[in-house]
Amino acid sequence: MAEDQNKILDEVTGGEYKYGFYTDIDMDTIPKGLNEEVVRMISAIKKEPEFMLEFRLKAFRHWQTMTAPNWAHLNIPEIDFQDIIYYAAPKKKPELESMDEVDPELRATFDKLGIPLDEQKILSGVAVDAVIDSVSVKTTFKETLAEKGIIFCSISEAIQEFPDLIKKYLGSVVPHGDNFFAALNSAVFTDGSFVYIPKGVRCPMELSTYFRINAMNTGQFERTLIVADDDSYVSYLEGCTAPQRDENQLHAAIVEIVTHDRAEVKYSTVQNWYPGDKEGKGGIYNFVTKRAICKGDYSKVSWTQVETGSAITWKYPSCILQGHHSVGEFYSVAVTNNYQQADTGTKMIHLGKNTRSLIVSKGVSAGKSQNSYRGLVKVSKRAENARNFSQCDSLLLGDKCGAHTFPYLEIANNTAKVEHEATTSKIGEDQIFYCNQRGLSTEDAVGLIVNGYVKEVINQLPMEFAVEAQKLLQISLEGSVG
Amino acid sequence: MLVIKDLHAKIEDKEILRGINLEIKPGEVHAIMGPNGAGKSTLSSVLTGNEKFEVVDGSVTFNGKDLLDLSPEDRAREGMFLSFQYPIEIPGVSMVNFMRTAVNEHRKYRGEDPISASDFLKLMRDKKKLVDIDSNLTNRSVNEGFSGGEKKKNEIFQMAMLEPKLAILDETDSGLDIDALRVVANGVNKLKSPERSTIVITHYQRLLDYIVPDYVHVLYKGRIVKSAGKELALELEEKGYDWIKKEFED
């Protein structure tokens, strides 16, 4: 542990946002702005079947009737949706036979990010569907997974090859009219991932996708759909970095998860998008809709997220617990520093009998940042014996930041048992001095204390992600203590 | 090893140390006694670099270096250890992780490689035995939920792990029952060596029955007003501090 921490600190003292480089790759873009023509163009470029074009147009027309939400505890500058490029893809080359054919610049980008795309990485057992801007460049492990009947591919590919599954599930958890950003995404999403785990199959490896926003002024609208059929299991990892940029970039993704009887999906995110500089300039706007439906009895969905990046985060991974005895879990660490703003949490909607949910949220605020937990626990009339436990902790570094907790409870069944615990604490000077006196630097001491504080959540992450997450915590809190 | 010359220090606008002079040689045990508010704990805070206190005047040399120029963590890495009067709780940070980080920081400072996991665990085992502390204390978070006695034992355990050149025991006896006192004192005595010096800060003679000092100093109103051998502690125990106060009233 200590070695890791030393290493982390060494990297940390480098200072600048580590992933702030810009790759010069030929881009296919369509002009700025959004209208029906642009939506039709996106669908046409992607050679989509008719039903997708209709899906998009319906969403677009609905979006036009909506206004951006303003209920969150966030200060969001007005976004000019006509000033965004809605499609950018690395120039299409002929079908790629091997890694050698991948654009060397693109590969260099992946290398800098440490993305395990090449052959040696097969040993690490991670299948990667790498997304740069909007089009999936390369998908590995497909064959291995195919043997088990698992589908893991880009959503564009799925639209072409598995239209029945897409028709059935796309938009079934997050309908296009759900919210402003969901409608926008449904109209203009360009790519993302699709996972289908057939009945009785336990996915033998962690599935992961690396997102990366690359083109100047290109909004990124990812779409992820995961379907776990009866008695199946999958663990899915999502991690992101983005290049340093002065102009704000909009990211409005949708993730939908469907679990059938006794199926389990574990969805882990480490999010490290450019948060803006020390004065709060630049940075990514991250407005994401993530929702799962536990359709089947005894099914389970577990969201784990470590959020350290973005200028503004607006994100509530949720579970609709429809199946009886289904379980929803939400583990979250949200770190804000400098001028970052985060309004994040979860919704647990109990519909089935004997459904259970667990919420563990750990907020860390530093600098002049604002960090809010917003959570809804809803127990419907028919949800007999629903159980929820929520724990929301806030840790403050310094006295210019803010932590807020907004727990909402809507209970319509009197057999429900709902518990909520919340704490707020501050890293004390005396704790730091105690560590100093044992030979620890102040940065190390803060790292140690913060990592101790978020341990419960980090432990939920797959091993390799946990190490990455610890690094990110250190990097994000760099310079936050005098 | 430690030379303090005319040390003045204040907190906010109040001068607490008003000209301390003290020299400690390797292997020596110095006891610092005195009534409440004399500046005993301030002295330990100032020596270890607590920023709440401001040094106004004077100099401190430690191992030939200007101590006051060093950061608190570098003072620790140079071999200065403070057994806190009130050890701080750090929830969520395991003793193992905390100690391993500390040990490695000391090693790094000396230009050594980090200790291996197995060597570290062995070191922990040996030191626990040496200072006779419960093995389950080290499985918990740093001082979290420890009783007063456990906290003090834990301080001595950390001291054993870090093997300081100079250990400052700040009222280590306060809040201890006689059994715990014996354990703590035995730990300190086992760690004694010709190179290692100790400053024992205490109100009472009792601790000095177990940790026998070479010198006893009486601190009063921010100055050392009397220094002698261990017999001074006995005299103080018998007569109290009033005669000192009378003698040195300004």
CA A415 to chain centre: 34
- Determine whether the interchain pair A435/B97 forms a contact, defined as Cβ–Cβ distance below 8 Å: no
| φ/ψ (deg, to 5) at A85 | -90, 125
B84 contacts in chain A (CB < 8 Å):
434, 437
User: Nearest Cα to A340, choosing from A374, A311, A373, A364?
Assistant: A311
In a domain, A292, yes or no: yes
Which among A429, A440, A442 has the least Cβ separation from residue B101?
Answer: A440
Contacts of A476 (CB under 8 A, 6+ apart): A272, A275, A308, A309, A335, A337
Facing residue for B72 by CB, picked from A433, A444, A452: A433
Tell if the CB–CB gap between A438 and B94 is shorter than 8 Å. Answer: no
Q: Which domain does A117 fall in, by range?
A: 2-477
Tokens encoding B146: 């420890």
Q: What is the largest CA-CA distance in chain A?
A: 68
Pairing of strands B223-228, B215-220: antiparallel
Task: Give per-residue pLDDT as tens, B74-127.
Answer: 999 999 999 999 999 998 899 999 999 999 999 999 999 999 999 999 999 999
- The pLDDT score that the predictor gives to residue A108 is 60
| Residue B93 to residue A449, Cβ atoms within 8 A | yes
Tell me which residues of chain B have a pLDDT lower than 70: 249-250
CA distance B238 to A412: 74
Which chain B residues contact residue A433 at CB under 8 A?
50-51, 72, 88
Whether residues A452 and B87 touch (CB distance < 8 A) is answered with no
Identify which of B4, B50, B1 has the alpha carbon closest to the alpha carbon of residue B227.
B4
Tell me if the domain spanning B2-90+165-247 has CATH number 3.40.710.10. no
Cβ contact, residue pair A436, B73, below 8 Å? yes
Cβ-nearest to A439 among B76, B91, B97: B76
Q: According to the model, what pLDDT value does residue A89 have?
A: 61
Contact assignment for B102 to A3 by CB distance below 8 Å: no
User: What's the per-residue H, E or C state across A87-119?
Assistant: CEEECCCCCCCCHHHCCHHHHHHHHHHCCCCCH
- State the Cα angle at B162 between B159 and B166, rounded to 5°: 65
* B158 exposure class (CB count in 10 Å sphere: 0-12, 13-18, 19+): buried
Assigned domain for A182 exists: yes
Burial class of residue A385 (count of CB atoms within 10 Å of its CB; 0-12, 13-18, 19+): middle
Instruction: Name the token pair of B48.
Output: 């270890």
Q: How many CB pairs under 8 A join A and B?
A: 89
CA distance A16 to A319: 37
Test A433 with B51 for CB contact under 8 angstroms.
Answer: yes
Tell me which chain A residues have a C-beta less than 8 angstroms from the C-beta of B166.
Answer: none
In a domain, A98, yes or no: yes
Q: What is the ipTM of this complex?
A: 0.96
Contact B101 A444 (CB under 8 A): yes
Q: Which residues of A touch B94 (CB under 8 A)?
A: 452
Query: Is A84:A219 a contact under the CB 8 Å cutoff?
Result: yes
Contact A448 B141 (CB under 8 A): no
Compute the distance between CA of residue A326 and CA of residue A422 in angstroms, rounded to an integer.
25
In-domain check, residue A482: no
Distance CA B155, CA A346 (A): 42
Provide the shortest C-alpha distance from residue A357 to chain B (in Å).
Answer: 24
Residue A441 with chain B: CB contacts under 8 Å: 71, 73, 105
Question: Which residues of B are less than 8 Å from A442 in CB distance?
Answer: 73
Closest residue of A to B105, CA-based?
Answer: A439
Element (DSSP H or E) covering residue A135: strand A135-139
Spatial separation of the C-alpha atoms in residues A392 and A333, rounded to whole Å: 10
Q: Which long-range contacts (CB under 8 A, 24 or more apart) does B40-43 make?
A: B40/B170, B40/B171, B40/B201, B40/B219, B41/B85, B41/B170, B41/B171, B41/B201, B42/B9, B42/B11, B42/B16, B42/B17, B43/B7, B43/B17, B43/B201, B43/B219
- Say if CB A391 and CB A410 are below 8 A apart: no
Q: Is B109 on the interface with A (CB under 8 A)?
A: yes
Q: Which of A5, A431, A434 sits opposite B101 (nearest CB)?
A: A5
Nearest to B82 among A2, A437, A448 (CB): A437
Q: Structurally, how many domains does chain A consist of?
A: 1
Residue A112: CB atoms within 10 Å: 13
Residues of B in contact with A455 (CB under 8 A): 92
Work out the minimum CA distance from A455 to partner chain B, whole angstroms: 7
CA quadruple A413, A414, A418, A420: dihedral sign:
positive
Domain ranges of chain B: 2-90+165-247
**pLDDT (tens digit per residue) in A343-377:** 899 999 999 999 999 999 999 988 888 899 999 99
Cβ distance B73 to A3 less than 8 Å, yes or no, reads: no
The segments of chain A whose pLDDT lies below 70 read 1-29, 88-142, 209-219, 240-248, 464, 475, 478-482
Judging contacts by C-beta atoms under 8 Å, the chain A residues touching residue B82 are 437
